[in-house]
Chain A
Amino acid sequence: MLSRALRERLSSQLMQMATLFTILLTLLITLALYLKSKPILDLHPLEQLLFSSSWHPMKGEFGLLPFILGTLWVTGLAMILSVPLCLLSAMYLSEYAAPRIRAWVKPLIDLLAGIPSVVFGVWGVLFVVPLVKDYIVPFTQEYLSFIPSLATTNTTGYSLLAGGVVLAVMVFPFIISVAEEVLCAVPGELRAASLAVGATKWQTIKHVVLRKASPGLIAAVVLGFSRAFGETIAVLMVVGNVARIPTSIFDAAYPLPALIANNYGEMLSVPLYDSALLLAALVLLSVNLVFTILARVVLLGATKRAI
């Protein structure tokens, strides 16, 4: 039988080890991806790999630009579509909705946050892609094709727009859930003080609630962004997967995660291919790291400024 003091010491050490393990894991993943992508970094300069658009693995050319742009376009579209809708919905839920409505909608949205991404993909294939193909593309080609980013020759429906819509719907529950919590955490006294000096409800929301909640809302958006950014399967299923720089939102694209998912494990016989794919993974990891740090800085700055 171990003595109590010894057990206490041992358990403390074990817990510390588990904690160190997570820190180590972060470093290990970064290091492993870096070491694995080193062969290709030795051969080609980083700028060329990131900013060249010629992707011909058989000839030894690995320009990741089409994939990076594909990722940015899809994620950007998703954020443009989802952020305003989510913030307005969160505002409605926290400021206007009757408690009864909130009591129903909130758990429902949390529930939907758990739907697996592959199901979103199926929904995209069955619902969004035909919608884009049969209604949106014919309409814009008829009336709006003078806008360059809306003109296209791709009529399959598998496009950036489809990927953006699927991603947008996918991040709805995440952003709304966090944003609503942030808005509800704004103290009622602040609202009361603003209303007491004669501000209207909308003025109160705009100048008091939103200002107080803005760091938290930014955090909510970053959360949605990081979720959308690395999403693989759902996007892969609807985005078309053509390795070309997209010029219109109806073009097919090929985001980074889809590139890795489609080729890793199969193309290992082509020299440097796996190295290039792990470089893609490293790019994803670095962007995530930068955004995590940014979110931290925003939140830290906010707590310092807080009254």
Chain B
Amino acid sequence: MRLSLLIVLGGLATILIVTLFKGLPALTLEMVTQGPQGGFYLGKGGGILNAILGSLCLAGGATLIALLISLPIALFLQPEYAGRTRLATFARFSLDVLWGVPSIVYGAFGFTLMVYLGIRASLLGGIIALTLLVLPIMARAMDEVVRSVPAELKESSYTLGATRLETSLGVVVRQALPGICTAVLLSFGRAIGDAASVLFTAGYTDSLPSSLLRPVASLPLTVFFQLGTPFPKVQERAYAAALVLTVIVLTISILSRLLTRSFTKHITK
């Protein structure tokens, strides 16, 4: 058993080591502060700022929209609203199904939807596909947190004459805030690292993100495309981009852990 744990940890450690050792030498200040310049994909100057900003816009937009949809869902699944009705059971089941849908299917569905609506590959399209991807992740996580709020806490609010809405916003959300933040940050991390769903929907461009209806670059696709070129100089950039992506994701995930620990001002235990 100890051996298998060591194998598992060893396998995961080599990933970090490989990314770090291959990425660090190629990572320069130019890489993260400039967009690609002429001949970038043949190994000339420039950086991946377009992809970094693009990824942040995509993931940020998707996380925001998903938050606006999944918080009401999580609150609605409380016993006071949907309770143990068939609707709640069915909604939880659909969330489970959506959770398992591969991201490439969201990408293909998003693209079909965009063709139907007449949108070209753009920031908006990418945000739509990513929203679909993170919505079930976020809603399920929030549902768990909201459900763990003690019933006594809510009951004391009802006793004072508060409505369900006032209780939900004033008591439940406050009590569940650390968990909600974790859910949001985890979704953001998931959204920024996903390549398959933005492959068709967000497109790719060398310019910085400027409009909702223009294509944007994203970090996972930068890694993917540059690794596929035959030039070693360009491949090195893929390693650097992979390192940047890993650092962003790990920072978010550590941040969410710290937040959960320190964000407990309003919590009753």
Alpha-carbon separation in the docked complex, A303 to B236 (Å): 52
Alpha-carbon separation in the docked complex, A244 to B132 (Å): 33
Beyond A92-B1, A237-B227, whether A11 also contacts B165 by CB under 8 A is yes
The one of A5, A32, A114, A122 that contacts B227, using a Cβ cutoff of 8 Å:
A122
**Total interface residues in chain A, CB < 8 Å:** 77
| Residue from the set B94, B200, B223, B249 with the largest chain A CB neighbour count within 10 Å | B94
Indicate the size class of the contact surface on chain B: 35 or more
Beyond A15-B72, A15-B75, A23-B91, whether A232 also contacts B163 by CB under 8 A is no
* Secondary structure of the B contact surface, majority rule: helix
| Residue from the set B18, B73, B104, B239 with the largest chain A CB neighbour count within 10 Å | B104
Closest B residue to A29 by beta carbon equals: B109
Chain A residues in 8 Å Cβ range of B200? 264-265
CB-based contact B93/A14 at 8 Å? no
Alpha-carbon separation in the docked complex, A229 to B105 (Å): 12
Chain A residues in 8 Å Cβ range of B90? 23
Q: Is B189 an interface residue (CB 8 A)?
A: yes
Stretch of B9-17, B37-45, B173-181 with 4 or more beta carbons under 8 angstroms from chain A: B9-17
Alpha-carbon separation in the docked complex, A29 to B15 (Å): 35
Chain A residues in 8 Å Cβ range of B193? 114-119
Q: Is A233 an interface residue (CB 8 A)?
A: yes
Alpha-carbon separation in the docked complex, A15 to B70 (Å): 9
CB-based contact B15/A123 at 8 Å? yes
Q: Is A206 an interface residue (CB 8 A)?
A: no
CB-based contact A33/B109 at 8 Å? yes
CB-based contact A15/B97 at 8 Å? no
CB-based contact A260/B223 at 8 Å? no
| Residue from the set B102, B111, B196 with the largest chain A CB neighbour count within 10 Å | B102
CB-based contact A88/B1 at 8 Å? yes
Closest A residue to B190 by beta carbon equals: A114
Q: Is B69 an interface residue (CB 8 A)?
A: yes
Alpha-carbon separation in the docked complex, A212 to B25 (Å): 50
Beyond A26-B98, A114-B252, whether A15 also contacts B220 by CB under 8 A is no
Minimal beta-carbon separation of A255 from chain B (angstroms): 10
Which residues in chain B, 38-93, are within 8 Å of chain A measured between CB atoms? 69-70, 72-73, 75-77, 81-82, 87-88, 90-91, 93
The one of B82, B108, B196, B238 that contacts A233, using a Cβ cutoff of 8 Å:
B196
The one of A18, A114, A281 that contacts B108, using a Cβ cutoff of 8 Å:
A281
Chain A residues in 8 Å Cβ range of B82? 16, 19
Minimal beta-carbon separation of B56 from chain A (angstroms): 14
Closest B residue to A4 by beta carbon equals: B163
Chain B residues in 8 Å Cβ range of A172? 8, 11-12
Q: Is A257 an interface residue (CB 8 A)?
A: yes
Beyond A111-B250, A119-B19, A233-B220, whether A29 also contacts B87 by CB under 8 A is no
CB-based contact A292/B102 at 8 Å? no
A112-134: CB near B (< 8 Å → 1, else 0) gives 10111111111101110000000
CB-based contact A114/B5 at 8 Å? no
Beyond A22-B135, A119-B245, A123-B15, whether A85 also contacts B7 by CB under 8 A is yes
Alpha-carbon separation in the docked complex, A8 to B165 (Å): 6
Alpha-carbon separation in the docked complex, A57 to B124 (Å): 32
Chain A residues in 8 Å Cβ range of B105? 29, 33, 230, 260, 281, 284-285
The one of A25, A92, A118 that contacts B195, using a Cβ cutoff of 8 Å:
A118
Q: Is A89 an interface residue (CB 8 A)?
A: yes
A1-20: CB near B (< 8 Å → 1, else 0) gives 00011011001101110111
Closest A residue to B223 by beta carbon equals: A118
CB-based contact B254/A105 at 8 Å? no
Beyond A22-B98, A284-B102, whether A105 also contacts B9 by CB under 8 A is yes
Q: Is B95 an interface residue (CB 8 A)?
A: yes
CB-based contact B101/A122 at 8 Å? no
CB-based contact A88/B4 at 8 Å? yes
CB-based contact A7/B76 at 8 Å? no
Q: Is B171 an interface residue (CB 8 A)?
A: no
CB-based contact A5/B135 at 8 Å? no
The one of A19, A118, A229 that contacts B77, using a Cβ cutoff of 8 Å:
A19
Chain B residues in 8 Å Cβ range of A288? 97, 100-102
A252-279: CB near B (< 8 Å → 1, else 0) gives 0000010011001100000000000110
Chain B residues in 8 Å Cβ range of A114? 186, 189-190, 193, 249-250, 252-253
Chain A residues in 8 Å Cβ range of B101? 29, 230, 284-285, 288
Alpha-carbon separation in the docked complex, A197 to B22 (Å): 56
Q: Is A137 an interface residue (CB 8 A)?
A: no
Closest B residue to A118 by beta carbon equals: B220
Chain A residues in 8 Å Cβ range of B253? 110-111, 114
The one of A7, A18, A116, A173 that contacts B69, using a Cβ cutoff of 8 Å:
A18
Q: Is B156 an interface residue (CB 8 A)?
A: no
CB-based contact B163/A8 at 8 Å? yes
Q: Is B242 an interface residue (CB 8 A)?
A: yes
CB-based contact B102/A121 at 8 Å? no
Interface residues of B (CB under 8 A from A): 1-2, 4-5, 7-9, 11-12, 14-15, 18-19, 22, 69-70, 72-73, 75-77, 81-82, 87-88, 90-91, 93-98, 100-105, 107-109, 111-113, 132, 135-136, 139, 163-166, 186, 189-190, 192-196, 199-200, 220, 223-224, 227, 238-239, 242, 245-246, 249-250, 252-254, 257
